[in-house]
Structure 1
């Protein structure tokens, strides 16, 4: 519709309403506030009613700057609409009218848009109505950062000490910070807890908040967990973010000092490495810890004391002292250490004992110890008795020997000592083995050994059946003596070993028989490398000679076969050359029916009349083929 056509009509209607005194009714409804996150698009709705209809309605939008008059940002008339130029919203707003709803859209809102907006509805009559809406813009802050004090805090400080600081940045509206200790919120308490906060408005209009916690530190705070909680707002809700947790180092004096044996666990014995540890229930930087042995005044300035190869004198009371160097206050604790010991075993009588055969043997073994001991006796690694006393009612020559006494501490592994006792039984000698011993040999010399038991150690003499004395080497053994004699053998002979001491003598006879070497005679009849050995005499007690004889016979046979093969080859050669004609009593070689050229050789042994013919190729020929 063209404006010149409608303008007179509108003016006429206005004059008509004025003449009759009739006014239009206009009503506007708007929300109190519209909430939106920064960066999004805000939509502010203006609902209106009028009895004139939309044809003559004018819609205007305003915003109210802080401490200033309102400023129009958009104007919609019946024939024209546009955003006002040179405002904060010129290029970011648009208006959408749908029936009786006029929606103002503001793109990319920021915290600077957190303003009051006014919608004004006008009709052709002077009647108008307006509504107001507060636009609220929200911005979530960054994650809170928390820093704890790096140094420790003493419980002796009179004023509250700084615990840490918490900071959150770029939030809108302003976020709030609350401090917690072990999930309990901390509030300002005179002389106990002080929380101070500061707020910074950034150039963007966002808020950054920093909070600092100071408090009076107590010993129970040494394991406490501190953190801060940030509360901020979003459209239609309140959110919370929790910072990381921190701990603080609390310095406090101990009320108790403890010292104990770290190793070895259980009972301690001489030779062990002793480690003592000391600790207290305090935590103070300016202090000295000392461990001291009260018996020897041996001490170290440390929480650990190590003593190697401890002795029984290293036992006793050990004291640990904690000294605070600021005010020189001391507190101490102590423990008693027992070092167990086992002295060397002592046998009575010492070293050796001699008893008569048939008499009682009795000895005792003891070792001084701080703990209960157990004693055992061994002979030749075999257990012979238990207890401190070794007792044999009637001693025999077998009783003699070396006895070992072993003393142990059953309740402590590794505690052991031992000693030895040589027991000698006085009596006539006994020679090991039978009284008569047979000796057969192929050798021309023989070694004879004679071992005799008895105490005192017997003297061993060697004689032969023809009355000769033999020189021999004699050595003492644990239970007697041993002698070895070497002499040449010319014939069968008897040799006597005579062992004697102060209590008697014993004689053993050795019958020596010589075995003469014999040379075996081998009779060999062979056709296919078969060896027959009928005359070999093999001594039953000389396996080495038997093996050597067989080897010799085999070698002779191999050489004979080799020579026969050469002889056969020569004869065959002469036959081919015509050098050999027929032989008397034999068949002519040229008349043989065999397809092979065989050479026949006759061999006869001294022990058989049978002749065996061998072919050149090793085939056995029958006698009737000759």
Structure 2
């Protein structure tokens, strides 16, 4: 007859087997190759009269297999595991089952059984083992893609994952969608029989366009509850035919005579064309690259230029090119000798490829306009320079003008010195070659000045008597003299000459008044004669209006005296 404890245990087991099984089993997740902890998910504290805790597992054949038992009164658990779990199981302080070096075979159900004198509770736990996939790699990459053609771009491979990794493709950071025509993505998963780990291979077929020249393709791998891994971005050569061409002038600035003309023919095809025809003034020149150099071009090289593909001359580009030039001539030029008062026409001729800017300078001073010499002055003498510019081209022409003539005294004056004890005589003249000025008296503090045909000669004198002084200006072409009265300073000092000069001024005034009176008298006489003739013609009828020959002679004499 069995003992009462054994009967009780059988009763508990029978009762447990009759309990309904929960449809939701907790899951414990572990990492491949690392220790996996399987917790005992009891919901109430362990009974104080706990007899033992037991861990078991569901075998491959569906039967239950024992792993270990921990008696309440013992410190160590008794391990009964065999086969896959021999030497791989242990119990933690919290009654969790520890599986060392987790493998994919550990993905099964483990049950924690808690047994007391009057209770028996089981807590099943489903174990999942995760394995992070290897870093993805793009293999079997295409060497080049053809414009508009569906081409195998490459295969993205990630290995040793559990569960199998999810692979996606992206272009410039945006996911590619399998549309079955321009984009085709096919994934394949293979399982290693020895390890049970999965390898995912994703093949991408892609229809490239010209816009994909710089596109960056990446492969992304993500696992459930794991991080995203991305490949290094890949770019691909896109082959496409030439659709557009351009002809360019290489170099900065405008083209001018003497420059090298560098033409570059560009085509948008890929790979780029390496041979072209350059069409220059009706000549077709083959070139094994995209650049043509023409050194030292002249103005006759202006015109339309063209380049075309060597193997397809219908694909071409044209450009109008202007070689800038500037010609400048000036009349007169060089050294020009002219006489004072003569006219000198100035003519500037320009021949250029565009609008020319012109400016004049005289002795390095800018002029507002072109000089116009209708009557030359001595001050007009100097170096004249005309400068023209166009598109970086500068031209200059010049002439040196010399104005010659005999001297002309333009000013003769006298003045007191600052201390009123001397006389300062000033003679100014114009002429070229440089005139020589000569006073008829000697003086001190002589001062000479000459500039642009004008000469000034000052002297200081102390006249002891009234003098008439002359200044003579002379050069190789002639001379001129002028006179001035200088009064003595002896006796009464400066006031003495003041009186003489005042008297001179009075004489001038009196002379002017007398002249006016004489003029009035002459006008009155003429009026009287006219009135007399008028009266004679009115009062004496039948007589001649003219007088006798003696009267006419006397009248003419009187008129002549009046005019004098």
- Name the TM-score, length of structure 2 as normaliser: 0.60
Segment drifting more, 285-294 vs 77-86: 77-86
* Kept in 2: contact 1:346–1:367 (CA 8 A): no
Residues 1:242 and 2:230 are matched in the alignment: yes
Aligned counterparts of 2:193 and 2:386: Cα–Cα separation in 1: 91
Which residue number corresponds to residue 320 of structure 1? 307
**Partner secondary structure for residue 372 of structure 1:** coil
CA RMSD of aligned residues (A): 4.9
After superposition, the Cα gap between the structure-2 partners of 1:74 and 1:412, relative to the gap in structure 1 and judged at 3 Å, is: same
Aligned counterparts of 2:158 and 2:107: Cα–Cα separation in 1: 21
Pairing of 1:214-229 with structure 2 (within 5 A) = 214-229=205-220
Match of 1:257 among 241, 245, 254: 245
Match of 2:387 among 398, 407, 417: 407
Aligned counterparts of 2:259 and 2:9: Cα–Cα separation in 1: 121
Q: Quote the offset at 1:138 in angstroms.
A: 1.1
Match of 1:394 among 351, 366, 375: 375
Match of 1:36 among 30, 34, 52: 30
Match of 1:358 among 341, 350, 354: 341
Residues 1:282 and 2:269 are matched in the alignment: yes
* Kept in 2: contact 1:365–1:405 (CA 8 A): no
Match of 2:156 among 166, 181, 198: 166
Aligned counterparts of 1:207 and 1:22: Cα–Cα separation in 2: 43
Pairing of 1:307-386 with structure 2 (within 5 A) = 307-323=294-310, 328=312, 330-347=314-331, 349=332, 355-383=338-366, 386=369
Aligned counterparts of 1:223 and 1:162: Cα–Cα separation in 2: 18
Corresponding pairs, count: 423
* Kept in 2: contact 1:73–1:87 (CA 8 A): no
Q: Give a deviation string over 1:219-255, Cα, whole Å, max 9, x none.
A: 333343321221212xxx4653333332222111232
Aligned counterparts of 1:202 and 1:292: Cα–Cα separation in 2: 70
**Partner secondary structure for residue 326 of structure 2:** coil
Aligned counterparts of 2:283 and 2:333: Cα–Cα separation in 1: 36
Residues 1:232 and 2:223 are matched in the alignment: yes
Segment drifting more, 111-120 vs 205-214: 111-120
* Kept in 1: contact 2:53–2:69 (CA 8 A): yes
After superposition, the Cα gap between the structure-2 partners of 1:393 and 1:203, relative to the gap in structure 1 and judged at 3 Å, is: same
Q: Quote the offset at 1:335 in angstroms.
A: 1.4
* Kept in 1: contact 2:221–2:229 (CA 8 A): yes
Which residue number corresponds to residue 418 of structure 1? 397
Higher helix share: 2
Residues 1:176 and 2:195 are matched in the alignment: no
Q: Give a deviation string over 1:319-356, Cα, whole Å, max 9, x none.
A: 23245x5xx47522111111221113242x56565544
Residues 1:189 and 2:214 are matched in the alignment: no
After superposition, the Cα gap between the structure-2 partners of 1:156 and 1:178, relative to the gap in structure 1 and judged at 3 Å, is: closer
Q: Quote the offset at 1:180 in angstroms.
A: 2.1
Q: Quote the offset at 1:186 in angstroms.
A: 2.8
Aligned counterparts of 1:191 and 1:499: Cα–Cα separation in 2: 103
Pairing of 1:459-538 with structure 2 (within 5 A) = 500=476, 504=478
Q: Quote the offset at 1:139 in angstroms.
A: 2.0
After superposition, the Cα gap between the structure-2 partners of 1:113 and 1:337, relative to the gap in structure 1 and judged at 3 Å, is: same
Match of 2:98 among 105, 112, 117: 105
**Partner secondary structure for residue 343 of structure 1:** strand
Aligned counterparts of 1:123 and 1:57: Cα–Cα separation in 2: 7
After superposition, the Cα gap between the structure-2 partners of 1:198 and 1:190, relative to the gap in structure 1 and judged at 3 Å, is: farther
Aligned counterparts of 2:29 and 2:147: Cα–Cα separation in 1: 49
Q: Quote the offset at 1:120 in angstroms.
A: 7.1
**Partner secondary structure for residue 74 of structure 1:** strand
Q: Give a deviation string over 1:252-295, Cα, whole Å, max 9, x none.
A: 12322122334333x43333444444434333345534544336
Which residue number corresponds to residue 94 of structure 1? 90
- Name the TM-score, length of structure 1 as normaliser: 0.55
Structure 1: gaps of 5 or more residues: 1-7, 440-450, 455-497, 508-626
Aligned counterparts of 1:96 and 1:371: Cα–Cα separation in 2: 98
* Kept in 1: contact 2:257–2:323 (CA 8 A): yes
* Kept in 1: contact 2:345–2:372 (CA 8 A): yes
Aligned counterparts of 1:331 and 1:224: Cα–Cα separation in 2: 27
Aligned counterparts of 1:207 and 1:115: Cα–Cα separation in 2: 18
* Kept in 2: contact 1:259–1:279 (CA 8 A): yes
Match of 1:151 among 143, 160, 174: 143
